[in-house]
Structure 1
Amino acid sequence: MIRLKPRPYMTLRDPTSVKLDEERGSPGAITPPPTIPAVTKEVVLKVSLGHKKYMIRQKGQPLDIPDLDDVTFYDVSHQEQMKLLEVEVDRLLQSVATLDGPVEFPGHVMFAETPNENGFDDLSKLADQLLINTHVCRLDNEIVLHHYQQGSTMTTRYWNSNRILSDLLKSEAMSSGTDNACRSPDFLSRYCGLVDYLTAVLCRVALQAHRDMRWHVNIIGSLANYSLKLKVLAMAPHQFPARALERAKRIFMNKSVLDRLGSKGNSFYQGLEARNVQDGTNPWILAQQFADGVRQHIPAGNRGPGDQHDGQGQNQPGMSHRMHGGFTPWSTFSDDDGTGYDNFYHPHHHFHYYDADKVKELEAFLTKKDTNEKAFFSAKAIYHTWTSSTLLQILQEMKSSILSDLPSDGFDICSLVYETGTVGPGLPILLHQDRGAELQGTGDVNHVKLTYPAFKILKDTALELPQRPATTNDKGNSSVTLRLQFQSRGSDEEASVAPKIIRKMTSMSTAIKVMIPLLCTSPGIVEELHTALSRRGELFKTGDQDHFSPDVPEFTAVAAMSTNTFEAKNNACLPRSDYKSLSQSVLAQHDRRSTLSLGSTAPTNMWHDLSDQKKHQKVQQSKQKQEKLTAKSESWVFEEETIRVSCARYVYTVIGVGFTLVLTGLMLGIFLGFTIEDSIALQDVDPFGFTTYCWVIAAFIVVIAKSVRVENWPWRDFLLRRVTCRSLSELHAVTGIDEQDLIAFLLTKEYENVLITRGPYNQLFMRKGEGRGFSIDCKPQIRTLLAAGLIFVKVSTKQGTALVCLDLGVGRQQGSYARKAIRHSGMMAQGEIMCRYPPRLEDDKDEVNINTRLRHWDFYSTRWEKILGVYTAYNKRVR
């Protein structure tokens, strides 16, 4: 038996590294490492068996209610299930005994082949079989959850899994030859090894998202149950999915009949239950009595064959398979569309033939539910729904993309975290490119924090891999390369650009070890985890909201897993292309804390050619500008149409110059007056004429100084040492801050103020006024929008190319234009930020005209067919 250390908390770092930090006095010694409570196998198994001992408070008796992920339906006894579950729990506890270092991959020997097209094809087959079995798990669980959560209908998850399994069973992919291949010892060994590594990585990632003991116990239990069931289902990859579908159809019909019976049928059964169950009446007889009662409630005109009151239909030909009361077989049901559900609601369709097990299923659906049972399954559903949804997303990503025109070894998976905004600390943005080159992202800080454990696992895994320099032979082979930069605040890397980690994958095992943690950084994966945490927080009010946000440092990261095949065959890798893959864009290449430093390089595309020292200098200059903007913006007052800026130094300077001229003129007049008295030649000269002249000059200087920066500056505001700016150009003139920095600042801070904007270039802002508001009279550049979380992506349409905008800025979720993902074959929506006719490379045009309003003739031209890459013309201006 494996038991973790008895101390109350385990650290994420080993004691040796902590001691070294203390000796060096590094910031890592000041910030306490995140911790997780200790978990034992006994606690996990006790929670996993909660359905056996669940108590109704009013009755005080244990209930043997159904369990999620039950495998006894698939030729495994309960005793065998418990033994296998102990093995899975032991394995997961061992994988999280220490949260430092890479996750052990038990299949490294079984995946020793070269990472080429054949290797990734085999990986796709494994992922495909795992997908099928995961859908079986989800189908079984949704049936139980639907029954015990009366307030819900059959969910989309149920119908999705049902349809997928039905289509697979009808296709040639599930033929007997494929079934035999999936049951070969080599395939099963690789299958189980992949399940072990995948669940271990998910367990480590999920446990670091929350510090509560109950969360950890349930996550380990859910992953252990899923791991066990996935391995059991692999024993009969064709038979078990078919069995699950048949069971789902039968149970669905039971539920349909009972819902149709309404209160009369249920009250009749409850009366039978009260009279007979305590006397030990056989469930078979009880079901027969209930069938008789159901038959009596059916109008004569709606009775089907065998529904006679006197039971004469029992002796008719072809009726021997029916029980007393007229149970209609499955063969009599219409199935016009192939779903098997068309005529379930016809009055004469009641029940299928039931053996002892099927009678138990009927009894289960007729048993009165208690609200406590609903609460029990509501809690269980949180963890099992997260497990199934996460597994399905990762496994789908591991398969070859059917939307890509490249072979299975032609891909570029990339995830990056960079900081937006112009004031520090910046707001993090997570951007992900999947295996099919589709893009998605998020600006939710809590989502970004949840990716930290996955990036940490990826870094530990990369450092463990041996360094192998690239050779000329690699260019002709299907070589897989990992490029990683991971930098957190408070680390010893903060003073310089984070070092790059580059590793070549020598086998499929190393490729899998890198791919799975990288896929865990996808916004879809972290959103599922955050949803589970939120639902759990709503169900269990703890009062400690800090538990729902992981305690991780601020960090930036970029991780890319690409192949030579992708670099050789994808057009985004061409040198003169104006679009790039995410891993080759500037966001992944330069310091992700200072996106605005792009503007200090002319042209911007030459950033890649700068030395590390030059890049560091540019970044430092940009940070100094950000610090200046941070200091100045703290005193700004935002109103609906204006921004009021304090300008005491400027006012004092103007008043000082004017006062100096006035005083100088006055002193000059007095001095000349004494001089004129002693001079005959100057007797007719007015000494105070010079004074008047100086005063006129002083007044002229004050008026010019008051009008040169803003159009209208009232004397009251001037004397109060403040200026009201009504446009971006006025704000630039008053503060001296670059217009592009101001645009990025206003875009990232829009959700924090009440500012309303107007044209001519305010289409990127959320709050627009009709003829009133703060005027945006400067054109933003593409690099400015990158710093604000707006990323333009080039797509291919039937008419040519277009630009679609990923809108990941914080607080910009309002409106239909806030697109968080770009998929292949999409359509532009009304109000969305887009450019239908972007400038070509050979054009001298330096502007991108964006459109947010569709015209009637644009209905068929706003669809795109394929994603090309991230737009890289960073110095283009947007209007």
Structure 2
Amino acid sequence: MASAPQELSLLHPVNHTNLAAYPSTTAMSSKSASGTTLTPLGSIPATNAGNSRSASLRNRHTAVVDSSIPSKVSVVPPPTTTQLPHINTDDVFKAAFPLQDKEISELLDCDYDSMASYHLTPDEEAERVRAEINRLVSIVQKNDNVLLFTPRNDESLAALKASKYGYVALADAVANVLRALRICNVDNDGISLLNAKIDITPEKFRVAIARLSPDFYIKKKPQTTQSGQVAAAGAPAAPSYESCCDLVDYLTASLARVMTQMANGSSWHNSVLGVLAKLAAKMKVLLDDLESNCVTARGNGEFTLESYLHTFGNSNSTQETQVPDADSIFREVSKSDDQATFHMHCIEQQRIRSGPVRLLKRLLQDLASTNNESGMPTTAYEMLSVVMDTGYKGFKAHLCQDRDYEFSSTSDPHDLNFAHPGFNILIESIEHIKTLNRSTPSHQPVRSPSKDATSLTTKIEWGYTTDGPIGKNVHGASLKSGLKELKLHTMGEISSVMIPLILASPHLSHISKSFFHMFYLTADVAEEVRPYPETPYNAFIRLYTSKFKAPSAEGVLRLADATHKGLFSKDFLLKPHASRGGIIPTIKGLLPQKRTDPSLRLLRLMDEMSAWVYVETAVIVQCRFYVFTIMTLAGVLVGGGLAIGLTLETRLEGVDPFNITVYAWALAAFLALVSKSIKVRDWAWADFLRGRVLCRSVSELSSITGYSDQLILAKLLHDEKESILVTRGPYNSVFERRAERNGDGFSIDLPVKTRTLLLSGLTMLKVQTPLGYGLVCLDARRGRHYSVVCHRGIGDKDSEELICQDIDRLTASNSNKRKGSGAAVVTLPMKWSKELEWRRVEGVYSELDAAFV
């Protein structure tokens, strides 16, 4: 990568020092640097087998982690952001080492993220964690500066060309960092298992130990230096120690900035930064000799498991296949008055670590992209994240397609708020990379592993706004007018985009929200911890490579194409199919209204439909004009007939004029009865005379209002979360609040179409099943929390899914009907079920006029 502009500098310039200068971690030893005999982490001496769990872990000294290798962070003022309050590094240090203030000094050998087993003294640990804290606090305090994964030298991972070998090198480095994180988790879980078993069971702990086996990982040992030479086979050298540490720095810096921008509060900031600093420091020590440290961690874990079984018995471990919800346990413990025991300390450490550790683990897993179920190579991918207004009246929905071609979504406003910091970092990084590349037109990556990898290109397409939709998205017009595109040249640029994009995904934002929810409810009442106010925004981010190919299955649309075409836009409701004949007759008048400005038409529609009143089995609609018209005509007939009788008298010989009056009155009654019954099945006179009607089905509501049935269904789906309306069949499968069998409710007697489902936040995804193809619904309807559709949808499922089975056979059957009778609608049965199993997700179902029955 070209040299950075002069305005760029290191946020925390600390000399890089190889771990070779520190105490060796190459060989296993039973003694610490001070000569004290060590007991594997979390172990229980045999003599204490009958004691309580809080009496364990007394025979070793705590040691620490490496943290003195901060990576380069570009400092360029982007658009101004809210400055965080001052964060005191001493307070963060106390949060990282809470037992430093305790009088019970023997507890110090049992702290979480201890490094005693890896031959570091407490002083070395404190020094390295202190350096990490200084680095993270500096990055957080200067939150108006851009975070970039920039190379420290020409041989760094970030300097690699954006090629096949660059992606391989990134995957190897991520695998090493993930392995180091698993060691940290095994060490901490050993303490929790023996002292405060909340989110860990013996069986889960045994699996975690097994995952440290070399069979689970790439057999490449990190090197202390990197020559930059490419192997004879064309593959790059194994990721160097420095490159792995640079990646740790950027990951923890990104997490620190994102999490501190989610919420404000000293306890929140101190806890998050303290946990991340300790994790970063420890992972750097582990990365220095990963294979040897894995052996040490496995030995410690196995000893801990044996100690647990010796203390509590084997029957207890085999029965506890799952544990209660961790959040509920944290809440109950927070009410306890016993805050001085080591047991409580272990619970508190698990509480503050649960969020950052889960986020970092998931971030690394998504970054590694080890899922091969998509059938595409590592260099062929398309990542997409879209935040947009959709549905009737508009609500925010976040749809995501990850690197493995799996789909997730959320429309929960709090999830969207917690995703916003990730988008902020992402947009700032993109804009700065764009500026940097423009200022250096001859920009070329320093390292170019091979000539045959030049055919691969990586690009990002983006749009972001806080003041309305992206581009001119009217009537489903393309979003292209509001999007920009940029080519990425190095793995540093790709990582600077991909990592914030993952942090802004629905899954990670949901984890963040859940963690904050638990943290707030279990924090001390005197601590002020509040999320930052919500800021409306729309975003379209698409990161893809030239090797990515669109799905080949028939009837499939890419999520990016569906978004470009505006299929999720609320303006799509105003296309001619949304009302009969391209006009919108309303309950306020009988004459069709001419086309006007789309925004005005939408406002008028929302105003009219907002007057609807929901009861459990019907929708009450005001129709005073209709009733007034009918009653006026009937009144004219009644009055006219009476006038004829009184006026004619005997002028017509042989004719009683009042017979004409009777006929006129009968006609008036007939007109009133027919007009009252032709639109709804049962219209009480009391409601009729009050100018209102109780519509008990979609067809009745469409007949009364003149609106398209699909527009009405979109409105009902939009309001379902907040209404009390109970629906019944025959086509109410898509609704959640359904009447019991043979129960009363509002009848969904017209089928919903694919385009209406898309507008309501329900995306039908085509999946490959053993016997053909099926459909699974990605549910992002209004207010819905995190939803996901992954490859390999098999086995036991927690909840039912909205599915359609064997659609290829049904589609073929409908095709034959169309040839014979000219019918144009594909009808597919939909139901809630756990029985559909699939191997791979193909994409968005593209038959927009398919009707689901």
Q: Aligning the two structures, in what range does the TM-score lie when normalised by the shorter sequence?
A: 0.7 to 0.9
1:188 alignment partner in structure 2: 241
1:395 alignment partner in structure 2: 364
Q: Does residue 557 of the first structure (1) align with residue 514 of the second (2)?
A: no
1:94-109 map, 5 Å: 94-100=138-144, 102-107=146-151
Matched residue type, 1:378: I
Q: Does residue 537 of the first structure (1) align with residue 513 of the second (2)?
A: no
TM-superposed CA distance for 1:152, in Å, is 6.4
1:749-768 map, 5 Å: 749-766=719-736, 767-768=738-739
1:705 alignment partner in structure 2: 675
The whole-number CA distance in structure 1 between the counterparts of 2:490 and 2:417 is 31
The structure with the greater share of residues assigned to helix is 1
1:770 alignment partner in structure 2: 741
TM-superposed CA distance for 1:389, in Å, is 1.6
Aligned to 1:740, what secondary structure does the other structure show? helix
TM-superposed CA distance for 1:578, in Å, is 2.1
The 1:705/1:34 distance shift into structure 2, 3 A limit, reads farther
Aligned to 1:179, what secondary structure does the other structure show? coil
The whole-number CA distance in structure 1 between the counterparts of 2:672 and 2:734 is 37
Q: Is the 8 A contact 1:121 1:400 kept in 2?
A: no
The whole-number CA distance in structure 2 between the counterparts of 1:445 and 1:560 is 22
Aligned to 1:561, what secondary structure does the other structure show? strand
Cα deviation code 1:565-597 (max 9, x no counterpart)? 003xx435x9xx52133223x235538551644
The 1:539/1:744 distance shift into structure 2, 3 A limit, reads same
Aligned to 2:807, what secondary structure does the other structure show? coil
The whole-number CA distance in structure 1 between the counterparts of 2:747 and 2:453 is 53
Q: Is the 8 A contact 2:186 2:205 kept in 1?
A: yes
1:223 alignment partner in structure 2: 276
Q: Is the 8 A contact 2:175 2:217 kept in 1?
A: no
The 1:211/1:531 distance shift into structure 2, 3 A limit, reads same
Cα deviation code 1:128-184 (max 9, x no counterpart)? 101100101111111223333256653776444312103x2x57844xxx3264765
Structure 2 unmatched runs, 5+: 1-9, 13-74, 228-238, 319-337, 442-450, 579-593, 819-823
The 1:172/1:43 distance shift into structure 2, 3 A limit, reads closer
The whole-number CA distance in structure 2 between the counterparts of 1:598 and 1:644 is 24
1:38 alignment partner in structure 2: 86
TM-superposed CA distance for 1:452, in Å, is 0.8
Number of aligned residue pairs: 702
The 1:474/1:182 distance shift into structure 2, 3 A limit, reads closer
1:871 alignment partner in structure 2: 845
Aligned to 1:752, what secondary structure does the other structure show? coil
The whole-number CA distance in structure 1 between the counterparts of 2:803 and 2:285 is 49
Aligned to 2:801, what secondary structure does the other structure show? coil
TM-superposed CA distance for 1:825, in Å, is 4.8
Aligned to 1:803, what secondary structure does the other structure show? strand
2:636 alignment partner in structure 1: 660
Q: Is the 8 A contact 1:412 1:435 kept in 2?
A: yes
Matched residue type, 1:74: Y
The whole-number CA distance in structure 1 between the counterparts of 2:704 and 2:432 is 54
TM-superposed CA distance for 1:807, in Å, is 2.3
1:39-78 map, 5 Å: 39-54=87-102, 64=108, 66-78=110-122
Matched residue type, 2:261: Q
Q: Does residue 452 of the first structure (1) align with residue 494 of the second (2)?
A: no
1:571 to 551, 559, 564: 551
The whole-number CA distance in structure 2 between the counterparts of 1:152 and 1:587 is 40
TM-superposed CA distance for 1:421, in Å, is 3.5
Aligned to 1:863, what secondary structure does the other structure show? coil
Cα deviation code 1:691-740 (max 9, x no counterpart)? 44433333232222211210111212212222111111101112222211
The 1:180/1:509 distance shift into structure 2, 3 A limit, reads closer
Q: Is the 8 A contact 2:621 2:692 kept in 1?
A: yes
The 1:128/1:380 distance shift into structure 2, 3 A limit, reads same
The whole-number CA distance in structure 1 between the counterparts of 2:595 and 2:466 is 17
1:720 alignment partner in structure 2: 690
The whole-number CA distance in structure 1 between the counterparts of 2:693 and 2:513 is 45
The whole-number CA distance in structure 2 between the counterparts of 1:151 and 1:837 is 43
Q: Is the 8 A contact 1:831 1:852 kept in 2?
A: no
Q: Is the 8 A contact 1:379 1:536 kept in 2?
A: no
The 1:150/1:672 distance shift into structure 2, 3 A limit, reads same
The whole-number CA distance in structure 2 between the counterparts of 1:595 and 1:549 is 32
Q: Does residue 587 of the first structure (1) align with residue 563 of the second (2)?
A: yes
1:10-159 map, 5 Å: 36-54=84-102, 64=108, 66-100=110-144, 102-107=146-151, 110=156, 111-149=158-196, 154=201, 158-159=205-206
1:394-793 map, 5 Å: 394-401=363-370, 402-423=372-393, 426-466=394-434, 477-489=455-467, 499-540=482-523, 542=525, 549-567=531-549, 570-572=550-552, 577-584=554-561, 586-587=562-563, 589-590=565-566, 593-594=569-570, 596-597=572-573, 600=576, 624=600, 626-673=602-649, 682-766=652-736, 767-771=738-742, 772-793=744-765
TM-superposed CA distance for 1:489, in Å, is 4.2
TM-superposed CA distance for 1:831, in Å, is 5.2
Worse-matched range after superposition: 230-239 or 430-439: 430-439
TM-superposed CA distance for 1:490, in Å, is 7.0
Q: Percent identity among equivalent residues?
A: 25
Matched residue type, 2:164: E
Matched residue type, 1:453: P
Matched residue type, 1:749: D
1:284 alignment partner in structure 2: none
The whole-number CA distance in structure 2 between the counterparts of 1:17 and 1:404 is 38
Matched residue type, 1:744: A
Aligned to 1:558, what secondary structure does the other structure show? strand
1:249 to 293, 302, 314: 302
TM-superposed CA distance for 1:2, in Å, is 9.1
Aligned to 1:833, what secondary structure does the other structure show? strand
Q: Is the 8 A contact 1:556 1:592 kept in 2?
A: no
Q: Is the 8 A contact 1:51 1:66 kept in 2?
A: no
The whole-number CA distance in structure 1 between the counterparts of 2:288 and 2:515 is 31
Q: Does residue 200 of the first structure (1) align with residue 243 of the second (2)?
A: no
TM-superposed CA distance for 1:221, in Å, is 1.1
1:849-868 map, 5 Å: 849-852=828-831, 862-868=836-842
1:331 alignment partner in structure 2: none
The 1:180/1:853 distance shift into structure 2, 3 A limit, reads closer
The 1:46/1:507 distance shift into structure 2, 3 A limit, reads same
The whole-number CA distance in structure 2 between the counterparts of 1:43 and 1:244 is 30
The 1:17/1:564 distance shift into structure 2, 3 A limit, reads closer
Aligned to 1:451, what secondary structure does the other structure show? helix
The whole-number CA distance in structure 1 between the counterparts of 2:355 and 2:78 is 35
Q: Is the 8 A contact 2:202 2:305 kept in 1?
A: no
For the aligned residue pairs, the C-alpha RMSD in angstroms reads 3.8
2:351 to 382, 407, 413: 382
TM-superposed CA distance for 1:474, in Å, is 14
Q: Is the 8 A contact 1:637 1:643 kept in 2?
A: yes
The 1:600/1:69 distance shift into structure 2, 3 A limit, reads farther
2:31 alignment partner in structure 1: none
Cα deviation code 1:759-803 (max 9, x no counterpart)? 221121221332332111111110111122211111112322221
Matched residue type, 2:208: S
The whole-number CA distance in structure 1 between the counterparts of 2:617 and 2:844 is 34
TM-superposed CA distance for 1:373, in Å, is 3.1
Aligned to 2:665, what secondary structure does the other structure show? helix
Q: Does residue 847 of the first structure (1) align with residue 826 of the second (2)?
A: yes
Q: Is the 8 A contact 1:422 1:629 kept in 2?
A: no
2:221 to 179, 189, 193: 179
Cα deviation code 1:778-837 (max 9, x no counterpart)? 111101111222111111123222211122324668xxxx96433335369795322222
TM-superposed CA distance for 1:396, in Å, is 1.3
* Greater relative contact order structure (CA < 8 Å, 6+ sep): 2
Structure showing greater Rg: 1
The whole-number CA distance in structure 1 between the counterparts of 2:458 and 2:470 is 30
The 1:809/1:171 distance shift into structure 2, 3 A limit, reads closer
The whole-number CA distance in structure 2 between the counterparts of 1:474 and 1:561 is 22
TM-superposed CA distance for 1:536, in Å, is 1.0
Worse-matched range after superposition: 180-189 or 645-654: 180-189
The 1:623/1:374 distance shift into structure 2, 3 A limit, reads farther
